[in-house]
Structure 1
Amino acid sequence: MAGATLISRGLGFVRDIIVAFALGAGLFADAFFVAFRIPNLLRRLFGEGSLTMAFVPVYSRVREEEGEEAAQAMARSAMIWLAMILVFITVLVEILARPLTIVIAPGFLDNSEQFRATVDLVRICFPYVIFICGVALCMGILNSRDHFLAPALAPVALNVALIGSALFGYYMGYNVAYSMAYGVLIGGAAQWLLQQPFLVRSGFSWRGPWAWKNKGVARMGLLMLPTVFGAAVYQLNIVLSTLLASYLPVGSVSYLYYADRLVQFPLGVFGVAISTAALPSLAKLAARGELEEFDSALTSALGLTLFIALPAAAGLVGLAEPIIGILFQRGAFTPEAVVATAQALIAYSIGLPFIALSRPLVAGFYALEDTKTPVKIAVVCLMANIGLGVWLMQFLSHIGLALAVSLSSFLNFVLLYVLLTRKRGARLLPPGSTFKTGLLSILIGWGAYATASLHPWWLVLIPVWVVVYVLMAFALQMVEARLFWGMIKSRIQRKKRTR
């Protein structure tokens, strides 16, 4: 999954480079990013943010207790309910696009052209949510059946569609923001179609019995209610950051967007990949009552997540400005935009390890079918993020909003970790490995910062820092280093056996 995600995120960077070139960081860029963020919010509410988390444990339990046919009937029934809900919401948004835009970006009312463009783009982009939430359910089915490749590759289709639509709009003389909005719809349909051959190959079929009143769907719905609320709280953090950024100078929304995209790269490649791959295993272990193995699996997931996320954060902090410059400084993306985006990247990167660590912890709660505790914690962190954002933006502008996200992410991790360790009565993050990872990450971050001005050697040295980090981890006899290498070695051997 990490390998496939690496491909899609790499292509995502190509997409961002092209979008920065064609769209820049001005009026229409801000309008598009706000409009695209709204269906993404629903994607996380009804997609992997809640539906997948609630679906996987129930689907796994139904397969264990009632068999394959019952599990497939439950999945079909869930898809029917999901489609009905999403079509209703889409029709509602098409009608209420204007007041919705006022709620999401009230600061745009001061610029009538920007506001009108955002309303138009919301109406074009929003039906994407129907496709992408369907993809999220497919992801839950495939992950529960131990298949992770297709869902991880799905964003490739979206990236290709957005790249093509941006270049088409730019070279044909059309408004790039509008062209990309239609590209969003094309990408959503392509992602859905990509999943279908893999579902068939895994033995799943959409043809077969389903029911309006399915016990598995009802149980999933009960679990999903608090997870939807929890996802809503998390996404409300993003929406409120956008709302606050709309009061800042033009370009602030775009600076935060591009910086967040860079943070999402290591987070998606390894942080999300590890937690997503861990959830089906944790759910199966919890369903069987094998709680000692559950603790061991969760400890491994947390250790490996920190082993990767902490040095990644240190590297982003040390190389923030040259990375932004080499990726985006061309066309409409000015040197001033590079500096502003790099400042936001540093602020976001501080919270990257805590965001990454929170995901396996939430997966642990969900696997135990405890969906209420993460929601309560999310509410506390939302309040913290709002308060910190309003306060810090007065002194640090858009940087303050990014820093508020990092600080609230730290609070989220601490609360999740403390409550889950109490629930399980086990230490889930060994202090020895944590200290060694922190020490090595500081050294790597310092080395990256010291060479940041050596163009182009800072870029050449990135793989060198990776090798140095892994070798030092082996020298310190870190379990995570052996686990990381063991996973890679196992994957290579599996590839050789299948040839």
Structure 2
Amino acid sequence: MSKHRQTRRERRRDAAARTATSKSSPLAAEAPDAASEVNETSEAVAEAVRRTSTGLLSASVLMAAGTIVSRLSGFVRSALIFAAIGSSLNADIFTGANTIPNALYILVAGGIFNVVLVPQLVRAMKDDSDGGEAYAQRIVTLGLLVLAIATVVLVIATPLLVRLVFDHRLFDPGNEDALSSAYALMRYCLPQVFFYGAFVLVGQILNSRGRFGPMMWAPITNNVISCAVLVTYIAVYGSSNGSDGFTSGQELLLGVGSTVGIAVQALVLIPYLRAAGFHYRPRFDFRGVGLGHTLRLGAWTLAFILVNQVTFVVITRIGTSAGLLALGDGTTDPAGTTVYASAFLITQVPHGVITVSLVTATMPLISRLAAEGNLTAMRAEIQGNIRLVLSLLAPIAVAVFALSEPLGTVVASWGAMEGRTEAVSATIAAFAPAIIFVSLHYMSLRGFYALEDTRTPFFLQLVLATVNIAVAVVFATQVDPEAISTVLALAYGSAYLVGSLLAITVLSFRIGPVVDWSAAGFLGRLALACLVAGAAIIGSFTFLAEPLGLDGDDKISALLSLVLFGGLGALAFLLAAWMLRIREVTSVIRTVLRR
């Protein structure tokens, strides 16, 4: 039996003894205990908010800055994709082949690496005499072996994967060239599975040692390389919006270039391991060190990821149908996988910059509180995180919805897509509500993972996936190819609305009410501030755009609209937040200015 499990059992026995003592006379003790619990919780929530708004925010600034730069470079990459290969079938083939390795990596090992290893590494650092170094060495060795074997198997299985991921119409007569490109690009991109896994393995070891910045900054190297590949493509082959596949040279440049970017992203983390005091050497003595416990925890996580990737495959197949349907009915501007992925990238920036940065910094603390059985403090940390994240994400979601038209122009109106961005803008607007719901769901699930409960998130994800697939399948068949990406975005947001509400409800049964009366008041004030911001953006855009000459479709006009009307909305929100005493907002401003 592992030392970690013995410690947890002892804590549970002690907690049970304390509970039995306090409840030996329920009528006499229950009311005072309840009052004490309320006071303790209120003080803990207040302290968590103060701590989150100062120390943890400061710890997250470097991560957020790296994520911002990474996402901005990702915008450039997205714009270059539109400029180089447009948004029709060819673009969807490249996007599908280049995104499936990440999905497969997650299916093979990503869930275990991301959400199970950090709590286990923290416990090993705390309890093991060597600070957890041997445990981490075994984890890296085992992980790299699994990734290498899985990558080889996946490359061999390329024909099956293409048939699984792409719409069945790709295999119809007349589409042979496009199908051949799908096979080639998939083979060139699949080795990314290994490098994605290596990147996350190294990054999570750094995170467990408090080195959060490198993992957030490293993706910039991938985006830079990807941008260089796309610029080279435009210089050599020009721009197009085709549906007849790529040449062998184009396939080699796009596929191998994309894989090189992921490999470099992983390699740049290695020097930071030594700086963090970790020295890797291969270790194959996997038995008797608690890895079985980690893998048992990961079994439910793997089931969770499997459900998620089934959803990914269904959505990708529906997305690739847009370009293929357009070939049949003569549609010139289909909106499928590429438009969906680009709009998704835009609307996920706030989640990556704010939520992931904050949760990455607080997950070790929440895991320690859960391991100690201090559910009151754990709940307070989660409540503080949710309030802080919502105070930042809600106004951003409003702004993204209100400014979706100029956003679509800035991102997509390039090269072959010049002046043809209506579908991109509509998809961005449809994704806007998901900015809030995805982060709520993400933070709630981290509460379960800190409790070493990977079973409950599986069933929660099963519900979410069912909603997503059902809405997407039903409504995608009712719209033209130009609107498929918009319908898929609405399905995504609907699923995460249901998922976040369900996750918060179930978590509240485990650790106490995550949403209490104080949170309800906060949400009411935040909603009012967001309404003020939304009215400011829409009103100023409606009445000032034409007099100022900012109602055109050109990129300069769109960019100025984003800056001017978005800035007016931000000022309106900050003023409303100050008047309504939303202290999370003012704390963030003070922290950022101080940094």
Q: For this structure pair, what is the TM-score category when the shorter chain's length is used for normalisation?
A: over 0.9
* Alpha-carbon distance in 2 for matches of 1:210, 1:437: 53
Query: Residue 194 and residue 47 in structure 1: after superposition, are their counterparts in 2 closer, same or farther (change >3 A)?
Result: farther
* Alpha-carbon distance in 2 for matches of 1:23, 1:484: 40
| Deviation (angstroms), 1:176 | 4.8
| 1:73 correspondence with 2:130 | no
Q: Is the 8 A contact 2:141 2:283 kept in 1?
A: no
Show the counterpart of 2:231: 167
Counterpart amino acid of 2:389?
Answer: T
Q: Output aligned runs, 1:183-332, within 5 Å.
A: 183-207=257-281, 211-248=285-322, 249-250=325-326, 251=334, 252-332=336-416
| Deviation (angstroms), 1:392 | 1.2
Show the counterpart of 2:59: none
Query: Residue 447 and residue 238 in structure 1: after superposition, are their counterparts in 2 closer, same or farther (change >3 A)?
Result: farther
SS in 2 for 1:25: coil
| Deviation (angstroms), 1:80 | 1.6
Match of 1:51 among 105, 113, 116: 113
Gaps of 5+ in 1: 493-499
Show the counterpart of 1:82: 143
Show the counterpart of 2:465: 382
Counterpart amino acid of 1:73?
Answer: A
Query: Residue 8 and residue 97 in structure 1: after superposition, are their counterparts in 2 closer, same or farther (change >3 A)?
Result: same
Counterpart amino acid of 1:390?
Answer: V
| 1:117 correspondence with 2:157 | no
* Alpha-carbon distance in 2 for matches of 1:144, 1:123: 34
Query: Residue 487 and residue 350 in structure 1: after superposition, are their counterparts in 2 closer, same or farther (change >3 A)?
Result: same
Whichever of the two has the greater Rg, that structure is 2
Show the counterpart of 1:34: 96
| Deviation (angstroms), 1:489 | 5.1
| Deviation (angstroms), 1:38 | 1.0
Match of 1:442 among 512, 518, 531: 531
| Deviation (angstroms), 1:223 | 1.1
SS in 1 for 2:321: coil
* Alpha-carbon distance in 2 for matches of 1:416, 1:143: 25
* Alpha-carbon distance in 2 for matches of 1:177, 1:9: 25
Match of 2:196 among 132, 137, 141: 132
RMSD, aligned α-carbons: 2.0
| Deviation (angstroms), 1:214 | 4.9
| 1:152 correspondence with 2:226 | no
Q: Is the 8 A contact 2:107 2:306 kept in 1?
A: yes
Q: Is the 8 A contact 2:138 2:282 kept in 1?
A: no
Show the counterpart of 1:22: 84
Show the counterpart of 2:24: none
* Alpha-carbon distance in 2 for matches of 1:271, 1:95: 37
Q: Is the 8 A contact 1:21 1:333 kept in 2?
A: yes
Q: Output aligned runs, 1:312-461, within 5 Å.
A: 312-336=396-420, 338-396=421-479, 397-398=483-484, 399-428=486-515, 430-452=519-541, 454=545, 455=550, 456=557, 457-461=560-564
| Deviation (angstroms), 1:177 | 5.3
Q: Is the 8 A contact 1:166 1:176 kept in 2?
A: no
* Alpha-carbon distance in 2 for matches of 1:344, 1:148: 32
* Alpha-carbon distance in 1 for matches of 2:299, 2:456: 13
* Alpha-carbon distance in 2 for matches of 1:236, 1:287: 33
Q: Output aligned runs, 1:480-495, within 5 Å.
A: 480-488=584-592, 492=595
Counterpart amino acid of 1:204?
Answer: F
| Deviation (angstroms), 1:234 | 2.1
Counterpart amino acid of 2:90?
Answer: F
* Alpha-carbon distance in 2 for matches of 1:32, 1:214: 45
| Deviation (angstroms), 1:377 | 0.8
| Deviation (angstroms), 1:389 | 0.9
Counterpart amino acid of 2:128?
Answer: E
* Alpha-carbon distance in 2 for matches of 1:459, 1:24: 24
Q: Is the 8 A contact 2:82 2:416 kept in 1?
A: yes
SS in 2 for 1:386: helix
Counterpart amino acid of 1:421?
Answer: S
Show the counterpart of 1:495: none
Q: Is the 8 A contact 1:279 1:367 kept in 2?
A: yes
Show the counterpart of 1:61: 123
| Deviation (angstroms), 1:227 | 1.1
| Deviation (angstroms), 1:40 | 1.1
| Deviation (angstroms), 1:209 | 5.3
* Alpha-carbon distance in 2 for matches of 1:43, 1:313: 30
Counterpart amino acid of 2:562?
Answer: L
| Deviation (angstroms), 1:448 | 2.4
Counterpart amino acid of 2:71?
Answer: R
| Deviation (angstroms), 1:47 | 5.5
Q: Is the 8 A contact 1:62 1:216 kept in 2?
A: no
State the identity %: 26
* Alpha-carbon distance in 2 for matches of 1:451, 1:120: 49
Q: Is the 8 A contact 2:536 2:572 kept in 1?
A: no
Counterpart amino acid of 2:392?
Answer: I
| Deviation (angstroms), 1:210 | 5.5
Match of 1:94 among 155, 162, 165: 155
Post-superposition CA distance 1:19-71 (Å, at most 9, x none): 221121123211111101211102333565442210011111111122444x1
SS in 2 for 1:289: coil
Q: Is the 8 A contact 2:504 2:514 kept in 1?
A: no
Query: Residue 47 and residue 4 in structure 1: after superposition, are their counterparts in 2 closer, same or farther (change >3 A)?
Result: farther
| 1:478 correspondence with 2:573 | no
Please identify, of 395-404 and 4-13, the stretch whose mean Cα deviation from structure 2 is larger: 395-404
Q: Is the 8 A contact 1:285 1:293 kept in 2?
A: yes
| Deviation (angstroms), 1:486 | 4.9
Q: Is the 8 A contact 2:445 2:457 kept in 1?
A: yes
Query: Residue 180 and residue 476 in structure 1: after superposition, are their counterparts in 2 closer, same or farther (change >3 A)?
Result: same
* Alpha-carbon distance in 1 for matches of 2:451, 2:470: 32
| Deviation (angstroms), 1:196 | 1.3
SS in 2 for 1:364: helix
Post-superposition CA distance 1:380-430 (Å, at most 9, x none): 111111111111112344122221111011011011000001111233461
| Deviation (angstroms), 1:81 | 1.5
Query: Residue 313 and residue 116 in structure 1: after superposition, are their counterparts in 2 closer, same or farther (change >3 A)?
Result: same
Query: Residue 313 and residue 178 in structure 1: after superposition, are their counterparts in 2 closer, same or farther (change >3 A)?
Result: farther
Query: Residue 471 and residue 272 in structure 1: after superposition, are their counterparts in 2 closer, same or farther (change >3 A)?
Result: same
Query: Residue 48 and residue 306 in structure 1: after superposition, are their counterparts in 2 closer, same or farther (change >3 A)?
Result: farther
Show the counterpart of 2:40: none
Q: Is the 8 A contact 1:46 1:133 kept in 2?
A: no
Gaps of 5+ in 2: 1-62, 238-246, 327-333, 551-556
